[in-house]
Amino acid sequence: MAQLVMGQSEAYENTIPEVNPSYRLLLGPGPCNVDPRVLRIASAPQLGHIDPEFFDILAETAQFLRWVFQTKNEMTAAWVSSAARSLKSPSERAQR
């Protein structure tokens, strides 16, 4: 690990190595194996909420939801979000 201090790079001798355990097949309750596709996308750089690629993904998701719910309603993403929020109990706070 190195740190840039006032234009000089200092390397620390006692750095903590990266933890990288070998693959295990988990068969019990509790934490479960994550699909490699999920790990790959989770490690990708995040998109901002105003990134043009984000809007493309959002449009594709809305199109998929219209297919799932067999509707041509252009407001599909809005009503699905509203329906999901209505599943909470009155004492719970909706997360944004």
Query: What are the sequence ranges of the domains in the chain?
Result: 49-87
> With bands split at pLDDT 50, 70 and 90, how would you rate the model's confidence at 95?
low
Instruction: Categorize the per-residue pLDDT at 13 as very low, low, confident or very high, splitting at 50, 70 and 90.
Output: low
CA 72 to chain centre: 28
From residue 58, give the alpha-carbon distance in Å to each of 2, 63, 78, 96.
39, 9, 11, 16
pLDDT band at 1 (very low <50, low <70, confident <90, very high): very low
User: Rounded to an integer, what distance in angstroms lies between the CA atom of residue 87 and that of residue 92?
Assistant: 10
38/6: higher pLDDT: 38
Q: Using the predicted structure, report yes or no on whether residue 69 has a pLDDT greater than 70.
A: yes
pLDDT grade for 29, boundaries at 50, 70 and 90: confident
Residue 69: partners with Cβ closer than 8 Å, 6 or more residues away: 76, 80
